[in-house]
Structure 1
Amino acid sequence: MPTTTMTDMTGEAIAASPNLAACGWNFIVLMSRQGKIRLSEFFSSYSESDKRRILRDISSDILPRAPKMCNIIEKGTYKFVYRRYASLYFVVGVPEGMNELIVLEQIHLFVEALDGYFNSVCELDLVFSLHKSLLILFEMFIGGMLCESNKREVLKAIVEAEELVEEMTKPGEDTASQLDDGLSFHEQFQLGRAPGRRTNQPGHGRR
């Protein structure tokens, strides 16, 4: 199977291999240069204190690093693998022994999918459309494992979900509101709907 070459914002080329699904993520964090968390998702079980410690470590260990420094940081039983795109750091935590090059490829695939959906993604897209970014993430990764590496298939699934939402809301917003009340957090993401959004229709508000 032929390999392809991808390039990040620094101009460094990454060779894409066919074994992209061989690596499982513990977590992914998107952090701005100012230390603002724009997205975080933990695929493994962590206590709240451990999550806070990981976020502090990302801020203190990665943000001050020079651009030419190694983008792999050993943290004992796991390691940070990161890559910077414009003003955002994409940081993935993986178990010790995982292939870092595969992780870098997976990060780039995720960025390409975001670019494809947002037409050149920027930090503001993540701020105002976080649920869409998570929808793309969940479409590509299940339990931290890469399940769909084809960007076109990912975007096609998201467009189909959005069209479904539009069809559901056409007859009357009250129907969509009732469905919102019965959907779980993850199911609302799968439908491309911002969690917690309800349509204020007469007779369907909080009593």
Structure 2
Amino acid sequence: MTFRFLLMMSRHGKVRVAKWFESFTQAEKQRIIRDMMNLVLLRDPNWSNVVDYYNAVAGQRAASSKTNGVQPTVSDAVRLHTTGQYRDRLVYRRYAALYIILCIDAESLATGEANELLALDMIHLLVECLDRYFGNVCELDLIFNFPNVYQIIDDMFMAGEFQESSRDVILHSIRTSDSMAGQERDEKHRA
């Protein structure tokens, strides 16, 4: 199962953490974030935490590669949408005022290797790691300690693939990194 991106957004639509596993332009990132605000944040809390997402960015890239670099037309985008191609799937969970969103790519869905329940467990594992590391994690921890948050995410995911499932291994890695950084700080103060 491959992921396109992981977003952590407040319920007001402010992006707190964005991890992109594919290369997107700044305009594409802004479009995806706007789509997430419309698709996820406005959903009824009683609805499912899994929603199909027509990824227009991926559809436009594929259409332009099929047309040898010619800009795709609106009819190409409609055709891709109606044929069900490039339909990613969003899996998200809400924790207090924070939404965590994972996007499963269309290829994983087409090959049958996508597992939405596993993606929900990955989100929960991420929250457990953050909670154990920060001690009752809140939005301010994500904002002011973003390098540590990204390190935890990088320990869990590599190139859009789930890498590590052990909470203890992930926490040991970041605590080791923190202790090494503390030793460097102490050595600089002594000099």
User: After TM superposition, is the score higher than 0.5?
Assistant: yes
Structure with more relative contact order (C-alpha pairs < 8 Å, separation 6 or more): 2
Output one character per residue of 1:139-191: Cα deviation in whole Å (capped at 9) or x when no partner.
1111111111111111111111111111112222598xxxxxxxxxxxxxxxx
Q: Identify the residue that residue 199 of structure 1 maps to in structure 2.
A: none
**Aligned pair 1:141/2:157, yes or no?**
yes
1:130 to 139, 142, 146: 146
Gaps of 5+ in 1: 1-22, 176-207
Letter in 2 for 1:43: F
**CA RMSD after TM alignment:** 1.5
Letter in 2 for 1:166: G
**Aligned pair 1:46/2:3, yes or no?**
no
1:86 to 96, 121, 125: 96
**Aligned pair 1:71/2:49, yes or no?**
yes
Partner Cα separation in structure 2 for residue 128 and residue 88 of structure 1: 15
Gaps of 5+ in 2: 55-85
More helix per residue: 2
3-state SS in 1 of match to 2:43: coil
Letter in 2 for 1:51: K
3-state SS in 2 of match to 1:90: strand
Over the matched positions of the two proteins, sequence identity in percent amounts to: 35
**1:6-45 mapped onto 2 (5 Å cutoff):** 23-45=1-23
1:159 to 163, 175, 185: 175
Partner Cα separation in structure 1 for residue 143 and residue 184 of structure 2: 26
Q: How many pairs align?
A: 153
Partner Cα separation in structure 2 for residue 171 and residue 131 of structure 1: 22
**1:174-189 mapped onto 2 (5 Å cutoff):** none
Q: Identify the residue that residue 118 of structure 2 maps to in structure 1.
A: 102
3-state SS in 2 of match to 1:75: strand
Letter in 1 for 2:19: E
3-state SS in 1 of match to 2:41: coil
